[in-house]
Every structure is written in structure tokens, then in C-alpha cells.
Amino acid sequence: MASKDADPSLGYLTRKDTEVKLPRPTRVKNKTPAPIQITAEQILREARERQEAEIRPPKQKITDPTELADYRLRKRKEFEDLIRRVRWNQSVWIKYAQWEESQKDFNRARSVWERALEVDYRNHTLWLKYAEVEMKNKFINHARNVWDRAVTLLPRVDQLWYKYIHMEEMLGNVAGARQIFERWMSWMPDQQGWLSYIKFELRYNEVERARAIYERFVQCHPKVGAWIRYAKFEMKNGEIVRARNVYERAVEKLADEEDAEQLFVAFAEFEERCKETERARCIYKFALDHIPKGSAEDLYRKFVAFEKQYGDKEGIEDAIVGKRRFQYEDEVRKNPLNYDAWFDYIRLEESVGSKGRIREVYERAIANVPPAEEKRYWQRYIYLWINYALYEELDAGDMERTRDVYRECLKLIPHEKFSFAKIWLLAAQFEIRQLNLMGARQILGNAIGKAPKDKIFKKYIEIELQLGNIDRCRKLYEKYLEWAPENCYAWSKYAELERSLAETERARAIFELAITQPALDMPELLWKAYIDFEISEGEYERTRGLYERLLDRTKHLKVWISYANFEASAMEENDESSDLPQDGVEEYNHEAKKECVQRARRVFERAVNYYRTSAPDLKEERAMLLEEWLKTESSFGELGDISVVQSKLPKKLKKRKQITSEDGGVTGYEEYFDYVFPEENQATNLKILEAAYKWKKQKITSDDE
């Protein structure tokens, strides 16, 4: 039983006898670090020192043929047993065959190799080892046989072909090596196989044969790299015409390939080395026209370098412009709605000055209409049209094309959703520059009808005013106010126009109509304009009436201050004062100033009473009003009375109040200023006296009890 389970490689021992039983791993209970730490280096050194010597079988000395035969028999039996167990393991076969070779029994070694190949003939390593054994022992015909069978069974393993050819070449059998190459080429190997064949022929100076192989090579592998190698081969042999012919044939066949850029660059550099600069320039330009823009970066760089070396100033500029042109082409191809890229592209073309290309780029740019009808998407796009029209007018000088650009742009904009006043105004101003006043009026009229805007009304009115058409201005203002009755700017400008024409009553009527509007965007400006108008006309009573009407609407601090300042500066004009003597005039002016002071003081008193009784919470506004009153009284000089105001001035106190959070908690304190007026101080003192009186009364009562 033991002999049955015995392993030949272990003598008469079984696997079980040789197993090393390791102790079970113990669990570490104490994981704290030891007081003396041991490094890994110490552990390895101790293991090395305690390692037992390796047990090796004793060397056997063979002294006679009988012992040799026994040794060989035993060894062969071991190999055969091992093969029976693992016959698919190629290393066992190789060791077996090499052992037979070491015993100089070549027939047995061949038998082992053949048996191994029967097991797995697709393993090219076996073929290589087999052939190397035959070659090493100088069995040339046997080696040829092995190589021949190997390349027949495994024609796609290049290493077999290389080894076979190398052996024949080392033996000086050039014809045999060539024949093997031909057999290999019939299988159409990769480029390296063809190049090896070409190098083989060139080693023996067979240039014509190498040329013929190159022809077959480029037919088998019609790639750019193959054609370039062919051309360089011809160039190296001094055949410039043949090399040019190769490049031309390659361009005809591969001009549309992805790596055509490499071919054109090589062709142009070839012509450059041949001193054919014009040919090279034509090749570069042809390539730039045919290669896609995104894959021509290296070509552009080479072209610019070429022009810098051989071209003139115009050629260099054209090369640089061409490079930038294709960069912009790539950008707009990736994103046609990138209008900034279109602007850069257009500026580039305008710097060159070719009208045809400029118009072409403009047309391509404006064809990319924004996909959504929202103004924010059109705001950048509309400037393409504006720049196009300005180019046609200023640079190209084509007025009809300019008019067509404006017309098409206005047709394209969806005016029912949004519009651009700039386009309408530019189109109208263009017609005015062409002395076509009717055309400009028609454009602006259409603008008011389709998409009325403040800018359009203002500009249209300005144009008509410059032309002196007052009736048209009035009609435009009426249209303007019909469209936007709340626009205080329009009302003020309309009244200002009438006043400039000395139409005082019309201006006053416009102001009256304006202040009666139910809604106004900036009523304070309108009232101020109306009041200033009446003051400039010297209508002080009307001005006072306006202030009173304004106070009926609002009691704002600025209104009170403006009213008081008006009264302080208003002087009633009286023609009779001119007939008085000098002393009488001075007395009259003094009385008038006195009247002004009294009127201003009455306005301030009304304002203070309003804030004290109707708006007691507006303490800060009341304090500001009193400060303004004090300044006004100071400006009156001897007619002013500062004491009237000083008795009413408040005390400014700094106080603190709690800041509460949303949940009701106190988060901190905030400082603020409070104003305490004299009447509040008196009331506080009265309350204190009343409380003291009550306290004393209670005390007397308690003492009596």
C-alpha cells in the first residue's frame, strides 16, 4: 500500500510522511507592547541562524556501464511516470527531452519532442526549443525539417519565421532565406515582417528587389506610414523623381484618411529639402483646404514655420491668419450658437479685408438664430446684425445692402414678444444720413406701432425738434403719453417744450393734467417741475396754491422744508416801488423781507404742530425740521429769532433696546437715539410731582392711624 502511494520524486516516502504539522495558532491575550521591542531585522537574523541545513541527496558516482544503464532506466521511469500524470505540462516534456539530449541519445530526444508536439502542437515554445536543440547539435537538416513543419502549422507566429530565416542566413543560404521570406509574405504579415524582408535585401545591396517588395508592401498595407517609408527609401537612394511619384500616388489614395496630415507634412518637407519651396507651399495650401480643421494643428504649425523661413511678409500673415481661421472654424462647428466665437472670427476676416469672406462669415453667423424667443438669448445675437449693417455702410460702402440688412433684421425679431429699440433707431439714423427723411419717419412710426419704447419716442421727438416740426413733436408727445400716462419724464418734457415756445398756458395745462393722473412713476419730480415752472413765471400765489395742494396729498418732511424755503426767498414784485424815492424803496424791501420771514415761520409752525399732534411717532423728522428752522432763522439776520426755535429743540438721548429672536429669547442689545421734546419733559415732571403728592398723602394717613 505504501509503495502504491509513494511519490517517485520523493523516493519511497509518501506525501503524508513529508507534511510538516504546524502548531495551532494561539490567541494573544495581552496586546500591550512588550518592554523590549524586537525589530523585523532581528527576527529574520535569528531565523537565519536557527535554520537547519538543507537535506540533499548524496551525489552518485557512476563507475561502470551497468550502473549507468540502471540510472538511465530509473530516470526515464521517473519522467514517464510524471508525464502520465501531467502530460499537458510542457515544462516536463522539455526537461525530459533536454535530459535525453544531455545523455547524447538524440533519437530518444527527438522521440520525446515529437510526443510533446502530438500533445500540443500549437505551442510555439516547443517548436522553438526543439529546433534550437537540433541547431545546437548541428543537425541542420533536422532543424530545417522542424522549422518547415512549424511555419506550416503556425504561419501567424512571426518568431518562428524570424528564427528560421536567421538560421538560413547564418548558414549563408541567401536564396533559401529569400524563399522563406516569400512563403511568409504570402500570408500578408504585419508591417514589421515586410520591413525585415526589405532590410534583408538591402543587406545584400538588392535595391531593385527591395523596391519591388516596397510596391507589394504598400499594396498590402496601404497606410500613410508605409508610403512615407517607401518615399524615404527612394530619397535615400537619390531617386528624387521616384520619391515624388510615390508621394503623389499616396496623396491620390490617402488624401481623405484620418492621418493624411502626416502624409502632407512629409510630402511638403520632402519638397522643401529638394529646394522646391513653391511646390511645398502648394502642398501645404492643398492640405489645409482638404483636412478637417480639428486635426490640422501640426500642419498649421509646420506651415507657419515654413512661411517664416521662406515666405514674405504677406505669406507669413496669410499663414497665421489661416491658422487662426481654422481654430475659429473648429469652435463654431462645435457650438454654432457661441456668438463670441463668431465675433472673433469676423474681426479676423475684417483684419484681412476680403469682402467676400467677410460677408460669407456674417451670413453664416446670422443664420444661427437663437432657438428660444426670449430676449436674454437674443441680446448677444442682435449685435451680429448691427455689426453687419455697420460694416456694409462704413467699410463696404454698399448702402442698398445696408438697408437690406436692417430690413431683414427687423423682420426676424418677434416684436409681439420683445423688441430692440437700438435696431429701430440705427435703421432710422441710417436713413437720415442718406437724406431719406420719409424713410426714417416710416421706420420710427412702425417702431411706435409695433414695439413702442421710451428710447424710440425720445429719439423721434429729438429728431423732429431738430428739424423744427413742433406740431409733429406735440403729436408724438401725445402718443407717448397715451402709451405711458404714468411717465413723469414725458409730462415734464412736454411742458418744457411748450414753455420754450412761450406757450405758458399750454404748459400749465399740461402740468395740471399730469398731476391729476391716478398713477405716476416719480410724482415728486413732476411736482417739483411744476413748482419751479410757476416760480420762474413769478406766480407766487399759484406756487403757494400748489404747495397747499401737495400738502393735501403728502405731509413729507421735504415738502414742508421746500415750502418754507420758498416763502423765505419769495419777494412780491410791486411796480409801485419803482416810483418811490430811495428811502422809500429800502423801507419797502425791508417790509417785504419781514413778510417773507413771517410766512416762512408760519409754515414751520404748521409743520411742527402737525408732527406734534398728528404724527408724534416721527420724532426724528420733527427734530430735522427744527434744525432746518434754526438754520433758516439764523440766515434771516436781525429779522430772525433763534429763541423761538431753541425753546422747541429736543434732547438727544442714547438708549438701548433688547434684540429678541424668533423664539422669544433675548439675543443682545441694540443702541439707538431717542428725542425728548420740552412738552414731554414737562409732562414727565408733572407725573413725578403727582406721584410724590400721593405718596406723602398716604404717609400722613398711615401716621394718623
Distances (CA, A) of 610 to 309, 546, 551, 558, 604: 90, 19, 11, 14, 10
Residue 223 region by backbone torsions, left for phi larger than 0, else alpha for psi between -120 and 50, else beta: beta
In this structure, of 255-269, 275-289, 399-413, 665-679, the range with the lowest mean pLDDT score is: 665-679
Question: Which pLDDT band, with edges at 50, 70 and 90, does 694 fall under?
Answer: confident
Question: Which pLDDT band, with edges at 50, 70 and 90, does 404 fall under?
Answer: very high
Element (H, E) at 675: strand 666-676
pLDDT of residue 692: 66
**Dihedral of the alpha carbons of 348, 351, 354, 358, in degrees to the nearest 10:** 40
Q: For the residues 388-413, what does the mean pLDDT come to?
A: 90
Question: Which pLDDT band, with edges at 50, 70 and 90, does 180 fall under?
Answer: very high
Residue 161 has pLDDT above 90, yes or no: yes
pTM of the model as a whole: 0.52
Q: For the residues 441-455, what does the mean pLDDT come to?
A: 88
pLDDT tens per residue, range 608-649: 888 788 777 777 887 887 788 788 777 877 777 777 777 777
For strands 651-660 and 666-676, give the pairing. antiparallel
Question: Which pLDDT band, with edges at 50, 70 and 90, does 576 fall under?
Answer: very low
pLDDT of residue 295: 61
| Cβ partners under 8 Å of residue 566, min gap 6 | 531, 535, 543, 547
Alpha carbons 266 and 298: distance in angstroms, whole number: 11
pLDDT tens per residue, range 98-157: 888 888 888 888 888 888 888 888 888 889 888 888 888 888 998 899 899 999 999 999
Choose from 334-348, 378-392, 670-684 the range with maximum mean pLDDT: 378-392
Alpha carbons 412 and 39: distance in angstroms, whole number: 85
Alpha carbons 250 and 238: distance in angstroms, whole number: 19
Residue 72 has pLDDT above 70, yes or no: yes
Cell numbers standing for residue 235:
530619397
Are 498 and 463 in contact by the 8 Å Cβ rule? The answer is no
Q: Provide the 10 A C-beta neighbour count for residue 349.
A: 20
Residue 20 has pLDDT above 70, yes or no: no
Residue 320 has pLDDT above 70, yes or no: no
pLDDT of residue 684: 53
Question: Which pLDDT band, with edges at 50, 70 and 90, does 41 fall under?
Answer: confident
On whether the 206-216+228-311 domain is CATH 1.25.40, my answer is: yes
Are 139 and 106 in contact by the 8 Å Cβ rule? The answer is yes
Q: For the residues 312-326, what does the mean pLDDT come to?
A: 60
pLDDT tens per residue, range 468-518: 888 888 888 888 888 888 888 888 888 888 888 888 888 888 888 888 888
In this structure, of 18-27, 161-170, 499-508, the range with the lowest mean pLDDT score is: 18-27
Alpha carbons 444 and 394: distance in angstroms, whole number: 22
Are 633 and 621 in contact by the 8 Å Cβ rule? The answer is no
Residue 272 has pLDDT above 60, yes or no: yes
Computed over every residue of the chain, the mean pLDDT equals 81
Residue 444 has pLDDT above 50, yes or no: yes
pLDDT of residue 322: 65
Question: Which pLDDT band, with edges at 50, 70 and 90, does 209 fall under?
Answer: very high
User: Which 3 state secondary structure label does DSSP give 652?
Assistant: strand
Alpha carbons 452 and 458: distance in angstroms, whole number: 11
Q: For the residues 515-541, what does the mean pLDDT come to?
A: 83
In this structure, of 17-21, 447-451, 543-547, the range with the lowest mean pLDDT score is: 17-21
Question: Which pLDDT band, with edges at 50, 70 and 90, does 199 fall under?
Answer: very high
pLDDT of residue 63: 73
Residue 580 has pLDDT above 70, yes or no: no
Residue 344 has pLDDT above 50, yes or no: yes
Return the closest-CA partner of residue 131 out of 123, 122, 139.
Answer: 139
Return the closest-CA partner of residue 361 out of 388, 380, 389.
Answer: 388
DSSP bridge pairs for 660: 666
Return the closest-CA partner of residue 507 out of 482, 483, 542.
Answer: 542
Structural domain boundaries in the chain:
206-216+228-311, 652-679+688-701
pLDDT tens per residue, range 228-240: 899 999 888 888 8
Question: Which pLDDT band, with edges at 50, 70 and 90, does 390 fall under?
Answer: very high
Kindly state the percentage of the chain with pLDDT values over 70. Answer: 85
pLDDT tens per residue, range 275-300: 888 888 888 777 777 776 556 667 76
pLDDT of residue 213: 92
